[in-house]
Chains A and B, each alone.
Chain A
Amino acid sequence: SAVISQKPSRDICQRGTSLTIQCQVDSQVTMMFWYRQQPGQSLTLIATANQGSEATYESGFVIDKFPISRPNLTFSTLTVSNMSPEDSSIYLCSVKRDLSYGYTFGSGTRLTVV
């Protein structure tokens, strides 16, 4: 399976500010995925990041709030913009490299907005 390095692992941010989360994969992958997991909840897909094109956002998520970059096939960033306490959550990136294997997740970014 792929190895993903995600950072920061956690942060405490002031409301109104922005935080950029980075994910680096040890091999090239076509699609990278960004999820949000609120405390005690399931994973909700935010968007799919494709290299060379704009990210595809799920219903309820918009580019202005969660801009994504995908400059190459091994790297992506997710920015949480103009944060409010409701954005406090764990953010995870994920990739799928092999058809016969599942998705690999980064270790997550635990965000607290105060």
Chain B
Amino acid sequence: GQQVMQIPQYQHVQEGEDFTTYCNSSTTLSNIQWYKQRPGGHPVFLIQLVKSGEVKKQKRLTFQFGEAKKNSSLHITATQTTDVGTYFCAGPGRGSTLGRLYFGRGTQLTVWP
């Protein structure tokens, strides 16, 4: 299926520092989605980006979709302890795998108070 690469795998920051995770696909994506999974929880949808070069913000979170629609990033400004969790990007399948969603390996964020 669709392969989406994500880095870094782990990130440890002090509260108040910024955080960024990057996602990259070898093929053009029709859209890219971001999910957050708290420890012990299930993935929760954050946002979907569809347009080339799109930038969306949710409070301290900024999501970008690359011009070529092959990469994306999630940036958190001034992290808080509530930001702890694993952030996944995910890309949809194409052709015979249309409708399916394939996840990157995720970035596990730890925030020290």
Contact = CB atoms under 8 A, between A and B. Distances in A.
Chain B associates with chain A:
yes
Interface string A58-102: 110000000000000000000000000000000010101000111
Interface in A32-80: 33, 40-45, 48, 58-59
Contacts of A27: none
A103 B1 contact: no
A48 B33 contact: no
A108 B40 CA distance: 10
Contacts of A40: 108
B103 A33 contact: no
Interface stretch (B42-50, B54-62, B64-72, B77-85): B42-50
Contacts of A42: 88, 103-106
B42 A106 contact: yes
Contacts, number: 50
A5 interface: no
Interface of B is mostly: strand
A101 B31 CA distance: 11
Nearest to B50: A100
A105 B43 contact: yes
A53 B104 CA distance: 29
B42 A58 contact: no
Interface string B88-111: 101000000001111111101000
Contact of B33 (A31, A44, A58, A102): A102
Nearest to A103: B101
A104 interface: yes
Nearest to A93: B42
Interface in B13-32: none
10 contacts: A41-B105, A42-B106, A43-B103, A45-B101, A48-B100, A59-B1, A101-B48, A103-B90, A105-B43, A106-B42
